[in-house]
Amino acid sequence: MSTPDDRRPGDRDDYLWDGSGTPDPEVQRLEGLLRPLRYQRAAPAAPARRSRAWRAPLAIAAALLVAAAGAFLAWRALGGAGGGGGGTDGTAAPGSALPAGLAAAGAPRSWAVTLLAGAPSWSGAGAGGARLERLAVGAWLETDSATRANIEVADIGHVELEPNTRVRLVETRPDEHRLALARGTIHAAVSAPPRLFLVDTPSATAVDLGCEYSLAVDPVSGIGRLEVTRGQVELDAGPGRPPAFVPAGMACETRPGRGPGTPARPGASAAFRTALAALDFEGGGDAELVVALAEADSADALSVWHLLAHVAPAARARVYDRLADFYAPPAGVTREATLALEPAALARWRDKLLRFLPGTFCVPGTVCGAPL
Amino acid sequence: MADSVRPSPAKVALRTVQGSGPGTATSIDAPLVRAARRGDRDAFRRLHDRYARMVHAILVARVPFGEAADLAQDVFVLALARLDGLREDAAFGGWLAMIARNRAADFHRGKRETAELDEEAHAAPPRPTAEAAEVLAAIAALPEAYRETLLMRLLEGMSGPEIAAQTGLTPDSVRVNLHRGMKLLREKLDPAGDGEAP
């Protein structure tokens, strides 16, 4: 029988390092013992800060806000919004950050770009000339193998571009900020109401639900991979295809023509993840479902929840029973309603499961309360 | 830029967001720190959510388990009050870790000043099972660097890259701490070495 030490040390270390590689039974045992003791508390209701240094900027910010609002109204009155959209460049008060020439001409809506290494190439309207520092709506930004860049997403967060990444600013307005990722890898950190920041990929749209995540698109296959490190992201492939809800600590693949698969923990068993991939993308059937359900544990309950909508109706009861092995149904949710994939029932299940996952949080009436 | 070993996009994603290099996790903190300093409660909450596991692990490594959660809340209240003193916003993680270690030291010195916390914050922490308590005791007997790192990994479920990004340690240091710490822990939990590490 194989023991942990029969394996090469690197293999065992990989699991200890980041949950990849062959699971180390002893590490898994200790994780299981200690998991119930994890810190679960919400942030303390902190007292108001007393620092003078805090009050002064607040007063200045308030004054600037008033001034910016006035400038904005004046700018709108002069027809400065340009074509379409909501009439803001999405980064700062109008005219505050754009190059003077662009602002005077009625600047296109744009996001600030900071180079972290190398020099990117640009294309499209409003790129800003030789000293390119803003990405306008409709323009592409591409990094080569030696370039990294940071894009400020209006005033709600930022996106870092890895080398060999190509993105386009699709839209920026108060109710939507949208980027297209054609290839490469981005890392997004957004602090905003849910569904305000979106990233289109060749096979699905990543809808921010208040989070930090990485999104990679393979330049050849167009296959996307989402890994969420904070909060939640929804992967949406359009009508007729169930979206994937990916909370912190989980990853999800999405493929052109198929849409998102089943999110899974990188630390889930290899057999479980392999079975999910087969079910999602390779025409897997009953054999793979048996493996997936047998390999799942309570930490994989959200993955199992996704399977309800992914498997054939005849197999759905088995998925439900496995889910019910881990958690009792939410109050008022019946087995029948769940098997019928009634949106309210599925949403109640999802909300319950999310509450058991560390690193996620629910915004009442928005994230967890959102209908499927 | 050295580009001799380029990981796959998925690997890149993990390394960059969770890594400690320039423009990564630490720079993501900076806007949150600035916002929290301005009094933005949501930013403070996000910093708490991001770093609470690290802080809790540091405290569990130093104080009785039942005290750690309350002290973790204290640490964040203290951190918010002292945020004006943080000179480098991107160094928030290391700065917060230092506050946590100092708070644990204060606890042992009998300085038990606590912030006013809400009802939820006062909820009793879960009680370790006998077996879990044995594991915690074995970890508590390890050298400090190993204790903290192992608790972040085994108790809080943080990955190695995540630990590096939050603590400011290099990934290599974290990897070594995990490897050596786990080796020592195996020996403590199974002194006879039955089927365990050499």
Kindly report, residue by residue over B51-89, the tens digit of the pLDDT.
Answer: 999 999 999 999 999 899 989 999 999 898 888 888 888
Rg of the Cα trace of chain A?
Answer: 23
The residue assigned the tokens 């379409």 is A84
Q: Which residue of B has its CA nearest to A5?
A: B197
What one-letter code names the amino acid at A138?
Answer: G
| pLDDT at residue A122, as a whole number | 60
Spatial separation of the C-alpha atoms in residues A272 and A293, rounded to whole Å: 8
- Low-confidence stretches of chain A (pLDDT < 50) are 1-9, 49-64, 66-107, 124-132, 359-372
pLDDT digits (tens, 9 = 90+) for A18-40: 877 778 889 989 998 898 888 88
| pLDDT at residue A298, as a whole number | 87
What one-letter code names the amino acid at A267?
Answer: G
What tokens were used for A297?
Answer: 């544990």
- Of B4 and B84, more confident: B84
Q: Percentage helix, strand, coil, to 5, in chain B? A: 70, 0, 30
The verdict on B152 touching A (C-beta cutoff 8 Å) is no
CA angle A255, A122, A117 (to 5 degrees): 85
| pLDDT at residue B124, as a whole number | 67
What tokens were used for A191?
Answer: 């602090």
Q: Do A38 and B125 touch (CB under 8 A)?
A: no
pTM: 0.48
| pLDDT at residue B194, as a whole number | 53
Q: Do B117 and A146 touch (CB under 8 A)?
A: no
Interface test with B, best of A18, A64, A250 (most B CBs within 10 A): A18
Residues of B in contact with A361 (CB under 8 A): 49
Interface TM-score (ipTM) > 0.90: no
User: Closest Cα partner for B166 from B51, B81, B3, B36?
Assistant: B51
Q: Percentage helix, strand, coil, to 5, in chain A? A: 35, 25, 45
The verdict on B183 touching A (C-beta cutoff 8 Å) is no
| pLDDT at residue B126, as a whole number | 79
Q: Which residue of B has its CA nearest to A363?
A: B42
| pLDDT at residue A86, as a whole number | 30
User: Closest Cα partner for A72 from A140, A174, A204?
Assistant: A174
* Among A13, A191, A216, beta carbon nearest to B42: A191
Q: Residue A255: which residues within 8 A CB-CB, separation 6 or more? A: A203, A221, A222, A223, A224, A261, A281
CA distances from B128 to A48, B10, B63, B125, B155 (A): 35, 36, 14, 9, 11
CA distances from B198 to A3, A302, B5, B187 (A): 12, 38, 32, 9
Q: pLDDT confidence of B193, banded at 50, 70, 90? A: low
Interface test with B, best of A1, A39, A228, A366 (most B CBs within 10 A): A39
| pLDDT at residue A278, as a whole number | 92
- pLDDT for residue B170 is more than 60: yes
Per DSSP (E only), the strands in A103-223 are 110-117, 121-123, 134-136, 140-142, 148-153, 157-161, 166-173, 176-190, 197-200, 205-208, 212-217
Q: Do A34 and B84 touch (CB under 8 A)?
A: no
Q: pLDDT confidence of B180, banded at 50, 70, 90? A: very high
Interface test with B, best of A41, A159, A355, A356 (most B CBs within 10 A): A41
Q: Which residue of A has its CA nearest to B47?
A: A43
The residue assigned the tokens 């104080």 is B63
> For residue A140, how many other CB atoms are within 10 A of its CB?
17
